[in-house]
A and B are shown apart, each in its own frame.
Chain A
């Protein structure tokens, strides 16, 4: 019974995930695209939960679907209505090449998966109960991966400084030099 439930949740999450992904790239209004991306991120969080990555799922909803997407929506609201019509005038050469390139990428990965990794990826390792819990992630982050943790803080600082500089009003003195 629990088995069937897991499959149902998986199918719903995958359909929501791929459907909202296609919606993101096909809506003409960027506001609707951003809303569809929130659905995409939320259904991905459900998939993370199925893979017993509880902390990453929580961070996905809080950081991505929450903070990052609010910033996106603010900027879209600030820029006003700027709908583009990507499908106007029939398929261009660029459209054909884009679909060809993305399709080739997908076919390539699926082929490699089915040829090389087939049976290897059938079985998942046995894991303890606290796999992916905040406690375990915190311990690993602050012991084995301390350097990555510290460098992340520098990256975030650089991004904050860059955001302030890019977003600040340009003065007359700047444009002279």
Chain B
């Protein structure tokens, strides 16, 4: 047997914290989206580790659903960023204060 499930969960917590740090720290919406992906993958790792722990495939189903939702979120997020860039707005979340363009 390899490492215990608890080590995988600890790695997933570390990944989630790294992603949260990126979301809080960076100002470019592109990098914030990338950090968000790290957070989602940290959660996915926990789901799959617990699926292995319980011997139930339901956690893997949940992880696959999270993947589909993450893909949708990237499409909409990147669409918003492209729309921002087309209107020549600064790609800086501190300067974006108006939703109506």
> Contact residues of A with B, CB < 8 Å?
3, 6-7, 10, 14, 17-18, 21-22, 24-25, 30, 33-34, 37, 40-41, 44, 47-48, 50-53, 55-56, 59-60, 63-64, 67-68, 71-72, 75-76, 78-79, 82, 84, 86, 94-95, 97-99, 101-103, 105-106, 109-110, 113, 117-118, 121-127, 131-132, 136-137, 140-141, 144-145, 148, 152, 155-156, 158-160, 162-163, 165-167
Contacts and interface: CB of A to CB of B under 8 A. Distances in A.
Nearest to A151: B65
B6 A30 contact: no
Interface in B23-62: 24-28, 30-31, 33-35, 37-38, 41, 44-45, 48-49, 51-58, 60-61
B68 A56 contact: no
A163 B45 CA distance: 28
Interface centre among B34, B53, B85 (most CB of A within 10 A): B34
A68 to B, nearest CB: 5
A158 B71 CA distance: 12
Interface of B: 1-11, 13-22, 24-28, 30-31, 33-35, 37-38, 41, 44-45, 48-49, 51-58, 60-61, 63-65, 67-76, 78-83, 85, 91-92
Contacts of A7: 2-3
A122 B55 CA distance: 14
Contacts of B75: 71, 159-160, 162-163
A166 B81 CA distance: 9
Contacts of B91: 79, 82
Contact of A18 (B15, B57, B82): B15
Contacts of B41: 40-41, 44, 64
